[in-house]
């Protein structure tokens, strides 16, 4: 995608976490499908990634119940989170090239995630990027409605004292892109994670992504045009 004919100066970058900085979505997908399989429900990874990108696990379960009449035990999410805790330390990686991007951008940056603050903190520490975060961690925990509602982005703007035109967002999911666009923000749709299914870029563009970056290198080119790399 071409950059707009005018590029308002970017004062702050807002990064999603999962699937944008850390390659965690593929882990989340596989642990969810593993636990669902233990309860007799099976779905292909690519189908799951296409149907439920960027959604909270509780909302995914609600969707599965509505569409497939799936009922899971009351402690399902608790077990899922324990699985994550066991698996993440040995399997979580930074998305190729994103460590350098995160460390080298010339403006402050914050995280805006549907995940908990604790999860984002743990993720960044795991890939040794926590000390490079010079802004805030904004979580769906802080607002009443998670992405795709714009609440967490409105909360970020209010806290930072910035206007929508002051920031640029990097998101990997339709859910995140919708949230950012509803908040009036410019969004780069990022396609560099392992879980990205075929046609994902088209979905992000359809939801309003202003630019698409297939990987960290392509993201750098966009950020350079804004003078923040």
pLDDT tens for 72-123 read: 999 999 999 999 888 888 899 999 999 999 999 999 999 999 999 999 999 9
> Is 198 domain-assigned?
yes
Better-scored residue on pLDDT, 181 or 84:
181
Torsions phi, psi of 191, nearest 5?
-120, 20
How many C-beta atoms lie closer than 10 Å to residue 95's C-beta?
24
Can you give the CATH number for the domain in which 84 is found?
1.10.150.240
Return the pLDDT at 4. Answer: 47
Q: Are residues 221 and 124 in the same domain?
A: yes
Same domain, 104 and 76: no
- The pLDDT tens digits for 204-213 are 999 999 999 9
Where does a domain end: 91, 122, 145? 91
Which residues contact residue 62 at a Cβ distance below 8 angstroms, ignoring those fewer than 6 apart?
Answer: none
pLDDT tens readout for residues 35-53: 999 999 999 998 998 888 7
Contact (CB, 8 A) for 209 and 87: no
State how many domains the chain has: 2
Helices (H), 39-140: 45-51, 57-68, 76-91, 98-104, 117-126
Cα–Cα dist 37/70, whole Å: 12
pLDDT band at 7 (very low <50, low <70, confident <90, very high): low
Domain edge (last residue) among 57, 76, 91: 91
Say yes or no: 74 and 131 in one domain. Answer: no
Same domain, 76 and 101: no
- What is the extent of the structural domain holding 29? 25-91
Mean pLDDT of the chain: 93
Residue 149 predicted with pLDDT over 80? yes
């Amino acid at each position: 995608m071409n950059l707009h004919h005018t590029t308002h100066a970017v004062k702050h970058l807002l990064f999603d976490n999962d699937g944008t900085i850390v390659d965690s979505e593929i882990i989340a997908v596989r642990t969810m499908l593993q636990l669902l399989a233990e309860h007799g429900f099976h779905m292909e990874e690519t189908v799951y990634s296409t149907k439920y990108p960027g959604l909270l696990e509780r909302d995914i379960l609600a969707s599965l119940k509505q569409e497939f009449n799936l009922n899971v035990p009351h402690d399902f999410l608790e077990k899922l989170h324990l699985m994550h805790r066991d698996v993440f330390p040995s399997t979580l990686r930074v998305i190729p090239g994103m460590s350098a991007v995160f460390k080298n951008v010339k403006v402050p940056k914050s995280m805006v995630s549907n995940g908990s603050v604790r999860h984002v903190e743990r993720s960044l520490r795991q890939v040794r990027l926590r000390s490079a975060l010079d802004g805030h961690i904004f979580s769906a925990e802080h607002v009443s409605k998670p992405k795709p509602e714009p609440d967490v982005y409105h909360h970020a703007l209010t806290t930072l004292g910035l206007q929508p035109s002051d920031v640029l967002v990097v998101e990997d999911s339709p859910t995140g892109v919708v949230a950012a666009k509803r908040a009036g923000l410019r969004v780069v749709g990022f396609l560099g994670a392992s879980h990205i299914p075929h046609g994902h870029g088209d979905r992000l563009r359809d939801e309003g992504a202003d630019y698409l970056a297939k990987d960290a290198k392509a993201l750098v080119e966009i950020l350079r045009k804004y003078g923040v790399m």
